[in-house]
Amino acid sequence: MNSRGRFPPGLAGGRGGNFNPNPNYQNRNYQHQNHQGQRNSNSNVQVHQQQQFQQQQWLRRNPGGADSGNDEVEKTVQSEAVDSGSQDWKAQLKLPPQDTRYRTEDVTATKGNEFEDYFLKRELLMGIYEKGFERPSPVQEESIPIALTGSDILARAKNGTGKTAAFCIPALERIDQDKNVIQVVILVPTRELALQTSQVCKELGKHLKIEVMVTTGGTSLKDDIMRLYQPVHLLVGTPGRILDLAKKGICDLKNCGMLVMDEADKLLSPEFQPSIQHLISFLPTNRQILMFSATFPVTVKDFKDRYLQKTYVINLMDELTLKGITQFYAFVEERQKVHCLNTLFSKLQINQSIIFCNSVNRVELLARKITELGYSCFYIHAKMLQDHRNRVFHDFRNGACRNLVCTDLFTRGIDIQAVNVVINFDFPKSAETYLHRVGRSGRFGHLGLAVNLITYEDRFNLYRIEQELGTEIKQIPPQIDQAIYCQ
């Protein structure tokens, strides 16, 4: 429907086993030589850097104690930690209800660290706990202490395992609230992900006096220019818009000491890489670069060798797909797909679902069909006006609708906890796209379900993607046990 119909664009409203990653995939994507062995070899470096950071923190608070020796530093650090733990500031926090859902090893296989172990500002810790974070996930344990030492990081971890907080927390910690300059830039590939990431930064830093700004294409350039005349400490945005503002001299990045690249593989695709390289020329030479993604093609290695210094590499991808996601395929003819989708809707216990199509036209057609079947449905794609995209994204996040039909615009980083079912109405062409699509469910170690509608033409793609990801996509059974995706 167009904007003159009953619903605005994007709102098609209605009634309410051991994995063994294939070596070909490992070669095609840049695999860092640090699976579990690398993590072990890096552990001594990490411990040393963590100790360094703790000593720096102590010396900053006690400038006269520089000569008192390492033993004194350690004692003081320990006593400060005890004092901090003994106070009842935590009792004053407004904590959200505890999430008691089952979680997989993807987020529970930690070293047992606590956020307080990293000597973060009290106000930042308050934001972390009030956001509902209880203790660091594996990627956060690996990344936060290293990022706080100022080292460059190249981190690879699965979708939905806490990468956003792994860079937002050290970014907020390292910002000097008294300096009204841009000190951190976080680059993301899509406008929706920029909005989501800036919101996470605002929530984590709500007790800090840190100004967060988000800027993307498709919005008023004049409004962004006016906003940049006010203090901004942390800037989140898409590369094209931030580069545009930097070239105009409006966005001053000469004091920006940290650049974060989320979904780094996408940012280093031909579409974005020239903008990224130009943008880096506006940063100081001693900047810190943090790169995070679930997939790393060879272009990332070239970029790392050119722009990162003494890089700390983190690789938590011993296997590629999330442990909590059960994957099925249904072999259908093209003309049977809508009927099959209707059957899935009637049989599955869907909290929220995301349904992927391979083209803009098919998204709108399918959304209309789903509405005609009597189910509530939104849709979103890159050709919609930005205001409409924002509205759909916001309303779906807030649970205004159960089903969302979209293109691959929505595969990157979008984190909606209530999504427990992903349906590939059109099967993707590449393993990377498949990995990111199914990763929209099963967020942060929870359970999820991925159902793929496979036609005769898709059969070779299905086999190839199984081989490349080292995973098994099983034929869909007549009845699906709710326990595998609803706990």
Per-residue HEC secondary structure of 294-361 comes to CCCEHHHHHHHHHHCCCCEEEECCCCCCCCCEEEEEEECCHHHHHHHHHHHHHHCCCCEEEEECCCHH
- Walk me through the domains of the chain, giving residue ranges and CATH numbers: 11-20+320-484 (3.40.50.300), 24-315 (3.40.50.300)
Q: What is the DSSP string of 60-97?
A: HH-GGGTTS-HHHHHHHHHHHHHHHHHS-GGGG--PPP
Spatial separation of the C-alpha atoms in residues 434 and 298, rounded to whole Å? 19
Judging by beta carbons within 10 Å of its beta carbon (0-12, 13-18, 19+), is residue 8 exposed, middle or buried? middle
Res 465: pLDDT: 93
Res 165: pLDDT: 94
For residue 434, which of 273, 322, 288 has the smallest C-alpha distance? 322
Res 249: pLDDT: 93
Query: ∠ at Cα 440 (438, 445), nearest 5°?
Result: 95
Spatial separation of the C-alpha atoms in residues 226 and 221, rounded to whole Å? 9
**What tens-digit pLDDT sequence spans the chain (487 residues)?**
443 333 444 545 444 333 333 434 333 343 433 444 444 445 455 555 555 555 555 555 454 544 445 555 555 555 555 455 545 888 888 888 887 777 767 667 788 899 999 999 999 999 999 999 999 999 999 999 999 999 999 998 877 788 999 999 999 999 999 999 999 999 999 888 999 999 999 999 999 999 999 999 888 899 999 999 999 999 999 999 999 999 999 999 999 999 999 989 889 988 899 999 999 999 999 999 999 987 777 778 888 889 998 899 998 766 666 678 899 999 999 999 999 999 999 999 999 999 999 999 999 999 999 999 999 999 999 898 888 988 998 899 899 999 999 998 777 767 788 899 999 999 999 988 998 898 888 766 678 999 999 999 999 999 999 998 888 899 999 999 888 888 6
Provide the 10 A C-beta neighbour count for residue 6: 8
For residue 118, which of 66, 169, 61, 153 has the smallest C-alpha distance? 169
| Contact predicate 126/95, CB 8 Å | no
For residue 79, what are the CA distances in angstroms to 5, 57, 72, 84, 395?
A: 66, 14, 10, 8, 47
Res 31: pLDDT: 40
Res 8: pLDDT: 45
Res 49: pLDDT: 59
Res 160: pLDDT: 76
Q: Quick one: tokens of 354? A: 């995301």
Res 449: pLDDT: 93
Spatial separation of the C-alpha atoms in residues 293 and 411, rounded to whole Å? 13
Spatial separation of the C-alpha atoms in residues 163 and 153, rounded to whole Å? 12
End-to-end Cα separation, the chain, in angstroms = 37
Res 422: pLDDT: 95
Give the burial string for 239-257 (b: 16+ CB within 10 Å, else e). bebbbbbbeeeebebeebb
Q: What is the DSSP string of 119-140?
A: ---HHHHHHHHHTT--S--HHH
Spatial separation of the C-alpha atoms in residues 30 and 277, rounded to whole Å? 20
pTM of the predicted structure, to 2 decimals: 0.72
